[in-house]
A and B are shown apart, each in its own frame.
Chain A
Amino acid sequence: MALLRNDQHTLTGVYALDALDTAAEVTRFERHLNRCDNCTGEVRGFRETATRMAMAVAQQPPPTLRAAVMADVARTRQVPAADEGARHARRLPRRTLLPRLAMAGAALGLAAAITLAVVLVNTNSQLSQTQQQLSQAQQELSQAKRHLILAQTQLAAINAVRTAADATLVTKATSIGGRVTVVKSAAKRQLVVTASGLPPLTAGKVYQLWLIGAPGNKIRSEGLLAVHNGRSGPVLISGVLQGDTFGITLEPRGGTVQPTVAPFVGIPAS
Chain B
Amino acid sequence: MRASEPESPRQEGGEQHLDDLLVRVARGDQAAFEAVYDTLAGPVYGLILRVVRDPAQSEEVSQEVLLEAWRTAARFDPAKGTAATWVLTIAHRRAVDRVRSAAAATAREQRTAEVPVPHDDVAAIVEASLDAQRVRECLEGLTEPQRESIALAYYGGYSYRQVGERLGTALSTIKTRIRDGLIRMRDCLGVS
Q: Are B82 and A81 in contact (CB under 8 A)?
A: no
Q: Are B150 and A56 in contact (CB under 8 A)?
A: no
| Inter-chain pairs besides A61-B62, A164-B9, 9 sampled, C-beta below 8 Å | A19-B158, A20-B160, A48-B82, A54-B46, A55-B135, A56-B136, A69-B70, A73-B33, A160-B11
Does A149 have its Cβ within 8 Å of any Cβ on chain B?
yes
Q: Are A159 and B191 in contact (CB under 8 A)?
A: no
Residue-wise interface mask of A (183-197) relative to B, using a CB-CB cutoff of 8 A (1 in contact, 0 not): 000001100000000
* Given A12-B179, A50-B154, A80-B74, A58:B46 Cβ within 8 A: yes
Per DSSP, chain B at the interface is helix
Q: Are A76 and B191 in contact (CB under 8 A)?
A: no
Q: Which of A118-126, A139-147, A215-223, A227-235 contacts B (4 or more CB under 8 A)?
A: A139-147
Residue-wise interface mask of A (149-168) relative to B, using a CB-CB cutoff of 8 A (1 in contact, 0 not): 11111011101100111000
Q: Are B42 and A56 in contact (CB under 8 A)?
A: no
Q: Which residues of B contact A (CB under 8 A)?
A: 2-4, 6-9, 11, 13-14, 17, 21, 26, 28-35, 37, 41-47, 49-50, 55, 59, 62-63, 66-67, 70-75, 80-82, 84-85, 88-89, 91-93, 96, 125, 127, 129-132, 134-136, 150, 153-155, 157-161, 163, 172, 174-176, 178-183, 185-186, 189, 191-192
Closest to B178 in A: A13
- Min distance, Cβ B184 to any Cβ of chain A, angstroms: 10
- Min distance, Cβ B20 to any Cβ of chain A, angstroms: 10
- Min distance, Cβ B127 to any Cβ of chain A, angstroms: 6
Q: Are A14 and B88 in contact (CB under 8 A)?
A: no
Interface size on A, residues (CB 8 A): 68
Q: Are B41 and A61 in contact (CB under 8 A)?
A: yes
CB neighbours (8 Å) of A59 from chain B are 42, 45-46, 49
Q: Are B30 and A142 in contact (CB under 8 A)?
A: yes
Does A62 have its Cβ within 8 Å of any Cβ on chain B?
yes
Of B8, B55, B127, B191, most A-chain CB atoms within 10 Å: B191
Does A111 have its Cβ within 8 Å of any Cβ on chain B?
no
* Given A56-B132, A69-B63, A61:B45 Cβ within 8 A: yes
Does A11 have its Cβ within 8 Å of any Cβ on chain B?
yes
Closest to B93 in A: A18
19 residue pairs of the A-B complex, CB under 8 angstroms, read A7-B172, A17-B182, A18-B96, A21-B160, A47-B81, A49-B182, A52-B131, A52-B135, A53-B135, A54-B44, A57-B125, A65-B45, A72-B63, A73-B33, A73-B67, A80-B74, A82-B74, A142-B30, A150-B35
Q: Are B7 and A160 in contact (CB under 8 A)?
A: yes
Q: Are A46 and B182 in contact (CB under 8 A)?
A: yes
- Min distance, Cβ B136 to any Cβ of chain A, angstroms: 7
CB neighbours (8 Å) of B129 from chain A are 55-56, 58
User: Which 10 A-B pairs have CB atoms at the shortest separation, nearest pair first?
Assistant: A13-B179, A145-B31, A59-B46, A61-B45, A58-B42, A56-B135, A159-B7, A13-B178, A56-B132, A81-B74
Q: Are A78 and B28 in contact (CB under 8 A)?
A: yes
Once the chains are docked, how many angstroms separate the CA of A72 from the CA of B66? Answer: 10
* Given A57-B125, A145-B32, A149-B31, A14:B131 Cβ within 8 A: no
Does A103 have its Cβ within 8 Å of any Cβ on chain B?
no
CB neighbours (8 Å) of A81 from chain B are 26, 74
* Given A52-B191, A163-B6, A16:B32 Cβ within 8 A: no
Q: Are A143 and B31 in contact (CB under 8 A)?
A: yes
Does A70 have its Cβ within 8 Å of any Cβ on chain B?
yes
Once the chains are docked, how many angstroms separate the CA of A18 from the CA of B93? Answer: 6
Does A60 have its Cβ within 8 Å of any Cβ on chain B?
yes
CB neighbours (8 Å) of A74 from chain B are 30
Q: Are A79 and B127 in contact (CB under 8 A)?
A: no
Residue-wise interface mask of A (238-270) relative to B, using a CB-CB cutoff of 8 A (1 in contact, 0 not): 000000000000000000000000000000000
* Given A46-B182, A79-B75, A21:B159 Cβ within 8 A: yes
- Min distance, Cβ A65 to any Cβ of chain B, angstroms: 6
Once the chains are docked, how many angstroms separate the CA of A155 from the CA of B34? Answer: 18
Q: Are A14 and B7 in contact (CB under 8 A)?
A: no
**Within the complex, which residue of B32, B37, B88, B157 is in contact with A50, where a contact is CB–CB below 8 Å?**
B88
